[in-house]
Each structure stands twice: as C-alpha cells, then as structure tokens.
Structure 1
C-alpha cells in the first residue's frame, strides 16, 4: 500500500471525530499518584465490637454465617463492614462470605463495594468482580445519574492503592459501563485513568467498539475512538480492525474498508477470515462480483478457508445477478471444502432457480434440503410455490401448499397471493376465488397485488365486466388501483382482441392520475402489431416518446415481431441498425424474430448473415436462437450445419425443443444417416417429447424389417396412445 492511500484512510477516520471525545487532549499529561487510603477511625466501643465479630467469623469460618452472627445483627453498622474487611482481607473466601452476609442486611456503601471489588480482582476472581459490579449498576439503572458514575470512579481510585493495586479492576468497571450502554461515561473513565498512568486493555476497548457499532450514531463514535485511542497508547489488534471494517461496510464505505484491509497488512496486523469476509460481503451487497472474486483469490493465497457467511453472500449475489449456474458451482466448492450449506443457502438457491424459470432444479434443491434433514422454512416454501405457479404447475403448488399447512407453517398475504396468481394464470378462477375467500376467513387482507392477479385472470377468460366489478369492490375496500392493476386490465383486454376497450381504459388512467407508462404503451403496440396495424403501433411509439417515456428492449422487440409478422423484414433490419446507432443493444429475441422469418422463407444465407451480425454485436445466442437455426438448416437440408449447432447448444447447456428433434430426425433419415436419426429419436423419447406421426411410422417399419418385434409393438402402442384422438 502506498503512502497516499495510508494518508487517505487516516484522513477519513479523522473526519469522524466525535463530540464526545473532542474535549480531551491528545497528549498524555504526567501521571499523578493514586491517593492513600485513610478511613475513619473506629471508636473504642466499635473497635471492641469489630474484634469480637472478626474473632467469631474466623473461629466459625466453616459454619453458616447467618446463624453464627445472628447475635451481632442488631448492633451491625455499615462502617463495621469496612473495619472487619481490614482484618480479613487476606482470606478471600471469608471476605466474600462476610460481604454477602452483610449485603443481605443492607446495601453496602460505595466504599465497601469498591474494597470488595479490589480484593476480588487482586485474587484473580474477575468474574465475581464483574458480577458484583453489574448487579450494582443493574439495580440502580432506573435512577442512574452521571454523578453516580463519577462518584463511584472516585471511590474506586481512592481504594485502589491500599486494597488491591491491580489495574484490572478498572477494566472490569469499564466493561460494565459499556455493557450498561454508558458509552460517554466509559470514555470519560478511560481518559481519567490516563492521568493515573493506567491504560484500559485492548479487549475492553474492543468491547466498546463492538457495542458502538450497533447503530449509525454509535458507528461514528466508534470510528472516532478507533482513531484517537492509539495516540494515547492503545495498540489495536485484529479484532479491533475487524470491528471497524464492519462499521465502514455498514456505512456503505466498502472501498474505504478495502483500503483499511490493505493497511492492516501494511502495519503488520494479522488479517483473518473475518477481515476478508467482512469486505467480501460488503462488495457482495453492492454487486461488485469482480472485487469479490479477486479477494477470494487473495484469501486462498493466504491459506485462509472461506466460511459459511462468505459463501452465503457470494451465492446470494450470483442468484441476484441470475448467474445460477455459477451459484451452484460455488455450492459444490463449498461442500468440497467441508463447509456445509444451511437453510439460508438452500433457500437462496431455490429462489434463484425459480426466478430464472428452472423450477425442476429448484425442486431438486428443495428435495435435497429435506433429505439432509434441513427443515425448509416459510421463505423456502413460498419461493417454491412461486416457482411452480410461474410455470403453470398448479397441481404441484397445491400439494406443496398442503404440506406447508401440515407442517404448521402459517401462510401470509404473499403466499396466498402467489397461489391465487398461479391459479389465475392457469385459468382456474374457481380455485383462485376459493383461496381468496379462505384468505379473508383467516383474517388476512387481500392487497392490490391480489386483486390485480384476479383481474388478470378474469380478463384472460374474457370476463372483462366481472374484472371491472372487482375493481369497484377493491375501491370500496379502500384499495386504490395502481399502474400495475390498470396495465393488467389493458393486457387482458389486448389478449382477447378488445383493443378499443383497452384504449378506453388507458384514457381512464389519465383521468385517475395514473399516467400510462412504457409497459402500457408497449402492451398496446404489441396488440396493434399482432393485428398487422403497424401504422397505429408507430403512432403509439411517437406519442410515448413525446411524453418523455423511454422505450425498453421489450418495446423494440414488439416492433420487430410486428415487422416480421407483416413480412416487413427490411424494416426489421433497419430497426436493428437504428437501435445500434442510438446505442441501444438488441438482445437475442430481437435477432431471433428476423432469423425465424428468413428460415420460413428458406433464405438461409440471410439467416446466417443475421446470426453473424448477432455475434459481431456481442449478443449471446439463447435456446430459441439454436432451435430456430437447427430447424432452418434441416429444412434446407444443411444437416452438417444443423448437427454442428446441435452439439454447440448441448455444450452450452441448452435443450432441443420437440420441433427441433423432429426436424433433425427427419433430416438425417432423408440423408440416409440412420444411426444419427435413431439416436436422436431415442433421446427424444427419453426426454418425454412427442415425435411426429411420420417419424413413428418410419421407426415402426425399420424395427419391423430388422425383426425387433418387441420394439415394434412398443412403438405402435406409443403411437396409438399419443395420436388416439387424431386416429379416431
């Protein structure tokens, strides 16, 4: 680390100087001696009583004091406690027994308590000293004043020289003040002790830093303490730096935390997995994966092993970024290093898989979680329910919901709304409204999202009037429809071709103060494009731009699809060129629409040019890209190119569609590549895809000619089962 960086971090820490410490000088004044202890002298009568009391407890030390000392109780005064302690101070057990006996009768004076604390610490019983102090301040917390702390401090200093002379007594007092939340008083004690040449231990200072780091104002004070205390002799250790690293990350100052990590190594402070983990997790929160991976390399190079907390945060970041394959790879690495995932990791991955539509992988993870006896929590169940519902697997969602209820997990508004949305998407409106009623019966209130899901479901079934009634019911309950509700209603109307009503709803939105957004315009443009009314779609785009709304890639893809469906492929190519000129990067869907239409026209040269242009712009092909190209090349009998693309897509983890399998099988069979055709046909059947009737006919004949009677009959049965309706 260079000097400039060192100065930068130092300046940053200085900026947090707290008002609590500004009054103290940074220079240490010459130490002053501890005062001599000079208690009040007892009278002759008191001396005789104390002698009798001391003799009795020494002679009967093994007996129960409350029974032995019962005759002395009426004459016992607080001062007697101190005078007796003077005679027995070298017998620690007796000191404690006698102090507890006296304490049961009346509260000890501050002086007496301080004396017992000094004796406890001198006897190396720090735990007892802490207990006595904590009980004292806990008892006084309802009527605690700053003067009490100052008075106690004075008594502790006054009794120090003659009763213990062990500086750990001040450490114990400092810790108790910190635990009681008296941070200002603790810092005042710290500076007062400096004048006597006593320095509070770094462990006690770390306790102060830890407690201060729990809220924003405390963090600022912690930063000030961290900066000032070294000036008076405190040598911060790894734990101290780790606390400040955490503080900086809490403030969102991740780069400053990283600089401090570097400074630790520069100063010779040992960095551990917590040091690195704190900064790594800070970068995870702000989504800087590159920095995370660099620090992980550095951590391993130092021979440190990432812990569960680090792995959890990295997996969470990757899932958030949609890099689910990489997240799964990190999970494997985690296991290989002997760090076993917990419910948090599994739930994060389940949610990540569901968000990217891979419900099969999410369900596999959910089952693995249960196999490993890790009980799925409410979040895990809700994530899986969301995944099933988003992919139309309402049967599985219903089963999982029942399991959730049997496990005693109570669903909330989010869970019910997720299920209702799933049923609405599947067109099962009866089940959706049944769940809505069940939700209300349980005392849960349907929200705007719940009603929006129901409105969407009704619109898709053409029940627009009922959907409007539901909106009125929603308003009667005090729930105001939002932009999403209106967009849902417009989308539903567009889906059933009622674009006139959709435009009317958009006008109503304006009147209600919910101005149409990019989604509203894009939805209507999509409807016009599908109707082949490209002029109206263009007009909407101009209106949208005039209102300052920025079109998204979805908007452009809608237009592209419209051009392609209308046979205006040259306009589609011009659209891509215009997007690139304006710095708008097309995605795979943009190019796919054009390639699909050129394939339909059997113009594979133009298709290939589009595909090459896609690569030139750095756009990564998706599953649809490969399937479009494979079908196109098969249709053009370019089987070599089709087979190459098939291999490439499998290597990238994409899967063929049924249509692509059919095209490849027929293409290879026609080119007399029987081995390849048969292999793909078997693979297709294993994947659960339905082959075309023509393909079944081919392989029934092939197996019959080869004498494979069992396979022939099996294929016949399968074909009859799959095409029964068509045959009848």
Structure 2
C-alpha cells in the first residue's frame, strides 16, 4: 500500500537533473493503454465502392485464389495481372481478410507487379498485428521507411493518416502504433516519433513503456538529445507512461556519459521513493560514472550499498573498479577486486587482464604482470596486441629490454601486428638502456611497415641520444620532426635541455628554456629541476635558488625530486646546515621528504665522521614515518664501520637483511675490514665468504688479509686459490 502511494505521488513531481524533483501540476492519468476520457474516436473505415464490373472482377479473383489454394498464385492470377488496379487489391483484401496466410501471399504477389497503395500497405500491417505477427508488421513498415523520402514530414503525415484510417475496421490493436513508433526511432526519425506519441494521446492510445524506452535510449545518443530525453522523461508520465527501472537506467547512463554523475546519483537515490527499485545495472552505471571522474570514495560506498541490498556486482561493475584502482596506482587493491570477481564466478576477459597487466607495469611490478600474462595463457584467454603492448611497456620501464624484445618477436609469430604505441614503447626502452642502434633499427622498421612515428617516438630517441651526450644528432632529429609536421612538446625540449646540461652547456640549456617560453611550450617542473640539478652539481647554489623562486612565481609546484636535487646540491657544497633547514621547511609546508632526502645528509655527515649528527637525522627520519631504503642502510653501515661502531653496524646489517635489502660491495668491504680491525676474525671471514658468494669483488686489501690468515693457518690450498682470485679480479680486470 505504501509503495502504491509513493508511486502515485510521483505524478505530483517531475525530475530535473539540475534541480532535483520539483512540483508539477497534478494530472489525473493512469498507467494503461486507455488515454484521456475526452479522447476523440478513430474514424470509420469507408473505402471507395467498386462498380458492378469491378465487383465481378474482384469476386472472380477472390473465389479463384480461395478455391485453388494449393497452386502458386503467380500461375492462377496471371490472367488478371493486366487489369489489376490499386483499388482492386484493397477490395480483394476485404474478401480474404480472415485467411492471414492468403492475405500475405496475395499482397506479396501484388506488390511484385507494382507498388501497393499506402492504404493497402497499412491494411496488411493491421492484419499482421491482429494476427500477432509483429515481426512481419515491423518488416513491412520498415521497408516503407528505409526508402528515401523527399519530404519526410509529408510522408509521415500520409502514413499516419492511413494507419489511423484503417485502424478501427482492420484490427484495432494498439500495438500497431508501437510498431510504427519503433520503426521511426530505429530509422532515426525522432522528431516524427515524438509527433506520433502526441497524436496518439489525442486518440486515447498510450505507447508501451518498452517503445518509450527505445525512444529515450536513441535520444540520449547526443548531448542535445539528452536534453530532449530528460524533457520526455519528465513529461510522458503526465500522459500515463509509467517508467520502469530500465527507463531510469537509460537516463542514469546518459547523465553519466555527459559528466552529470552527481545528478545521476541524486536520481538513483530518488528511484526507491518513486517505487522504482534500482537493479545492479543502475548501481553499475553510477559506479562507472564515478570511476570516470576518479572519485574512489564514492565508488567504494556504492559497492557496499549494492552488496548490502543483496545485489551482485556485474562484470561491468568490477571492470570499472579495477580500471580506476589501476589508474589511481592502487594496484594491490585492484588485484584483490580481481580475485573477488573470480571467486564470484565472474570470469575476467582479455580487457580486465590487460588493465591489470598495464597497472602492474606502471607501478614497477612487472613480475606480477608477467604472472597474470601466464595466467591468461593457462585460462586460454587470447592476448591481443594491446596486452602485448602493455607487457612490453612494463618490461621496458623496468629496464628488462631483452625480455621486451622477446615478447615483441612473439607477437609476430602469433600473427599480431604491433602499432605505433608498441614500437614507441620498445624504442623508449632501448633508448633508456643506451641501445640506440637497435632503437633506430626499430624506428626504420616501423616506417617500412607504413606506421608513422609520433612526437613520443621522436622524444624517446632524442632523450636516448642526449643521455649519451649526442646533442647534435638529437637536434638533427628535431629538424626531421619539423619536416614531418610534428611539433616538439615539453618532454622533447626537456630531453634536449637535459642533454645540454650533461655536456656542460648550461648557458645553451637556459637559452633553450627561454625559447620554449616564447614558443608557447611553457617549461614545467621537470625543466626547472633539470637546470637546478646542473647548477647544484657545479656548486652554483645561488642560481639554483633563483630558478626555484622563478618556478614558484609561475605557479609550478616543486616535486620531491626538486627538493632532493637541492639537498644534494647543499651536501656537495658542504652546506649541511642549509640542508637541515630545507628538511625543516619542507615539513612546515606539509611536503614529506623521502628516504633519498635524508640519505644525502646522512652520507655527508658519515664522510665527516660525525656519527652523532648522522644518528640524529636517522631518528628524525623514523619520527616522520619515512622508511629507510637499501641506500640508507648501506650509508649507515659504512659510516659506523669507519667510526669503528661495529656493534651498531652489525645490528643494522641484520635489520636490513630481515627487510629484504642487500648489502653493496662497499658495505661488505667496510664490514669485513671493521671486524678484522676489532679482532673479530670469525665474523670477518663469514662476511668475506658471503660477499664472494654474492658475486661481489673484495678490495685488494681484504684479499691480502685473508691470504695472510690462510697462510698462517697452513691452509695452502685456500691461500693459492685466493692469490689467483685476487690477481684475476683486482689486477687483471683493473688493467683491462
């Protein structure tokens, strides 16, 4: 009872997606095929009366086809062909109307000879609907409207007039108008469809909600159309149309498509108050809408609400969530959703796997991406060129160019053609690895296949050349880009500026940055950070500071890399107090330093043998919740070994191993020497053997120590072995 009351209240309001539900004039209408009480009646059918001669002719045809049903019509009606007129067809249809199959056979025979009159066509459509053959009725109407009409408006008026005229006597089934309405919508004649709805209301006929939903869906295909769809959605209930869940879903989807997610969410909330219960599609549409605008909090709340109502998320819902989590860098959570999806027996397709593989690649977890790639093979899910491209991109970002090239070859063996994105990803990987010869070979191969290198491709090549100091060749590539009509972007300019800084031509780099500004390619944070790094390495801290001020004046936000560049500059210039002040300033501004920021300071204090200051910085790092990395431990271990704090060094060594970090060769050397000097030969020897097993080369001084130890112990075999190893690794390699 409550639901019925709420549903009836809906007619007192209309929904405006920009204003919410607003009152409308109360309209007393009910959801039925009956229209208003003052509806005008359909006209009586009154065809032209045949003459005596025509009557005999028509009766002769009618009798003949009824008596000779087993014979083909083309044979028995051949004598009548030359005399048959359009009116004769209508009069014959009147005589045989009770035999639906005969009606169709005769009409098809007649229209092969000449186009039937519009009245005859409408009569057969009416008979088809009355005989519940909606498919045939639809086909007949569609055939009329798929022909080009010089004047659509005139043709629509004529067709509707004949359909209304023949309605009362030839079927009187309202679905005939649904058929006509659906054909108009499918043909894209939406204006005429709207006119048909309005015309039928006057006759007391209401179109089905399914037909109206088709109209809503087709209207919503464009931004202008959605405005009309919203108007229809608001006004049609006044005429008696009862929208259902599908109707709401169409509007929800349309609003989300055009970025009106908040308005769509409001409509979702209102649905239940209107007695319309949202289904999984309703929620999935809004979830996807919020995914598109990257509002993860809203997505998670809606997922909880959906499941709380006993609805199971669909593949579409899961796909949207996984894509957003990957885009947000929350790849671990994305995989959890992926596994939950599988547990719900919703099996992911190629697209979901590829999204996750791409996400793992971008987050540097390429081995996890490889695991999913293998899982696809086990589950017999076909990898397309997008999947391979995602894998190749991830491998290249992780510096695993050999594996990337192997997959690139595998693509060809599977008949998959790499596109510009695939080639560019591999070219970029080769450039980062310094394999410029192979990068240019891929570039040439790409051109031979008819693919056009884009700005990203050239930027990768320019960056690779600049990192090798080949700035002049990189400049030649810029001219080649210009000849092909490609405009360099900020990344291209940044690569050249970086190359100029690497070869020490900072003056030219600054000049190029000024040219960028004039050309409208405004320098970004990376541009400024690159130049600041060059000044810092030269000890020109005042100029680096000036660049930072210019950068801030232009509204550019420094990144943690920018601050680490400054910190490194302070430390290299011996300005450690300034470095500490920089960390303090960052914390005051809410900018969290990372391990690299603290490592630079700790390294310099260790070099100065000031372990007290080093320890204070390390404690401050922990206090801010910044986790030490491998470099942090190696710096501290070497510092404590140098200061002969072997107990602290050993504790740090143990802690870093537990956390999965590895010692560097320099740290091993420092620990071995430190323990030996403290007469801790057992610990020193254990670390020396561990170091060799890890493939690290010990210093000559350490080889000398253990050659002497083994000699004094009378262990001749080990002594000779260590002598040979020392000669090979410390002398031969040094000379080569």
Q: TM-score, normalised by structure 2?
A: 0.84
Residue 539 of structure 1, CA deviation:
3.2
Q: Which residue of 1 aligns with 2:710?
A: none
Q: Would the aligned equivalents of 2:11 and 2:237 in 1 still touch at CA under 8 Å?
A: no
Q: Name the CA shift for 1:565/1:208 in 2 (closer, same or farther; >3 Å).
A: same
Task: Please say which of residues 618-627 and 449-458 is displaced more in the overlay.
Answer: 618-627
Q: Would the aligned equivalents of 1:665 and 1:678 in 2 still touch at CA under 8 Å?
A: no
Q: 1:297-312 residue pairs with structure 2 within 5 A?
A: 297-312=304-319
**Partner deviation per Cα, 1:430-481 (whole Å, 9 max, x = no partner):** 2222222223333333333333322322222222333333334444444444
Q: Name the CA shift for 1:59/1:390 in 2 (closer, same or farther; >3 Å).
A: same
Specify which of 16, 21, 32 is matched with residue 12 of structure 1.
Answer: 16
Unaligned runs of 5+ in 1: 18-24, 701-713
**SS across alignment from 1:223:** helix
Q: Which residue of 2 aligns with 1:148?
A: 155
Q: Which residue of 2 aligns with 1:68?
A: 76
Q: Name the CA shift for 1:554/1:292 in 2 (closer, same or farther; >3 Å).
A: same
Residue 496 of structure 1, CA deviation:
3.8
1:85 matches 2:93:
yes
CA distance in 1, matches of 2:199, 2:86: 29
1:230 matches 2:237:
yes
CA distance in 1, matches of 2:575, 2:134: 86
Q: Which residue of 2 aligns with 1:103?
A: 111
CA distance in 1, matches of 2:275, 2:722: 74
**SS across alignment from 1:341:** coil
Q: Would the aligned equivalents of 1:254 and 1:282 in 2 still touch at CA under 8 Å?
A: yes
Q: Which residue of 1 aligns with 2:375?
A: 368
Q: Which residue of 1 aligns with 2:62?
A: 54
Task: Please say which of residues 483-492 and 33-42 is displaced more in the overlay.
Answer: 483-492
Q: Which residue of 2 aligns with 1:711?
A: none
Q: Would the aligned equivalents of 1:658 and 1:690 in 2 still touch at CA under 8 Å?
A: no
Residue 574 of structure 1, CA deviation:
0.9
Specify which of 518, 528, 534 is matched with residue 521 of structure 1.
Answer: 528
Q: Would the aligned equivalents of 2:637 and 2:671 in 1 still touch at CA under 8 Å?
A: no
CA distance in 1, matches of 2:51, 2:19: 59
CA distance in 1, matches of 2:527, 2:11: 53
Q: Would the aligned equivalents of 2:497 and 2:512 in 1 still touch at CA under 8 Å?
A: yes
CA distance in 1, matches of 2:387, 2:654: 41
Specify which of 348, 354, 372 is matched with residue 347 of structure 1.
Answer: 354
Residue 533 of structure 1, CA deviation:
3.0
CA distance in 2, matches of 1:263, 1:697: 83
Q: Name the CA shift for 1:312/1:497 in 2 (closer, same or farther; >3 Å).
A: same
Q: Would the aligned equivalents of 2:665 and 2:698 in 1 still touch at CA under 8 Å?
A: no
Specify which of 537, 545, 567 is matched with residue 544 of structure 2.
Answer: 537
Q: Which residue of 2 aligns with 1:323?
A: 330
Task: Please say which of residues 305-314 and 197-206 is displaced more in the overlay.
Answer: 305-314
Q: Which residue of 2 aligns with 1:273?
A: 280
Residue 81 of structure 1, CA deviation:
1.5
Task: Please say which of residues 162-171 and 522-531 is displaced more in the overlay.
Answer: 522-531
Q: Which residue of 1 aligns with 2:714?
A: none
Specify which of 642, 647, 656 is matched with residue 637 of structure 1.
Answer: 647
CA distance in 2, matches of 1:492, 1:385: 26
Q: 1:600-615 residue pairs with structure 2 within 5 A?
A: 606=613, 609-610=616-617, 613-614=620-621
Q: Would the aligned equivalents of 1:588 and 1:620 in 2 still touch at CA under 8 Å?
A: yes
Q: Name the CA shift for 1:720/1:304 in 2 (closer, same or farther; >3 Å).
A: farther
Q: 1:349-428 residue pairs with structure 2 within 5 A?
A: 349-428=356-435
Q: Which residue of 2 aligns with 1:557?
A: 564
**SS across alignment from 2:146:** helix
CA distance in 1, matches of 2:94, 2:380: 62
Q: Would the aligned equivalents of 1:385 and 1:400 in 2 still touch at CA under 8 Å?
A: yes
Unaligned runs of 5+ in 2: 22-26, 30-35, 708-720
**Partner deviation per Cα, 1:76-118 (whole Å, 9 max, x = no partner):** 1111121122222121111111111112111111111111111
CA distance in 1, matches of 2:375, 2:638: 37
Q: TM-score, normalised by structure 1?
A: 0.85
Q: Would the aligned equivalents of 1:417 and 1:450 in 2 still touch at CA under 8 Å?
A: yes
1:113 matches 2:117:
no
CA distance in 1, matches of 2:728, 2:114: 94
Q: Would the aligned equivalents of 1:133 and 1:173 in 2 still touch at CA under 8 Å?
A: yes
**Partner deviation per Cα, 1:655-690 (whole Å, 9 max, x = no partner):** 556579969997999999999x999999997xxx54
1:169 matches 2:176:
yes
Q: Which residue of 2 aligns with 1:206?
A: 213
Residue 338 of structure 1, CA deviation:
0.8
Task: Please say which of residues 459-468 and 83-92 is displaced more in the overlay.
Answer: 459-468
Task: Please say which of residues 99-108 and 560-569 is displaced more in the overlay.
Answer: 560-569
Q: Name the CA shift for 1:514/1:98 in 2 (closer, same or farther; >3 Å).
A: closer
Q: Name the CA shift for 1:371/1:432 in 2 (closer, same or farther; >3 Å).
A: same
Task: Please say which of residues 369-378 and 213-222 is displaced more in the overlay.
Answer: 369-378
CA distance in 2, matches of 1:186, 1:497: 72
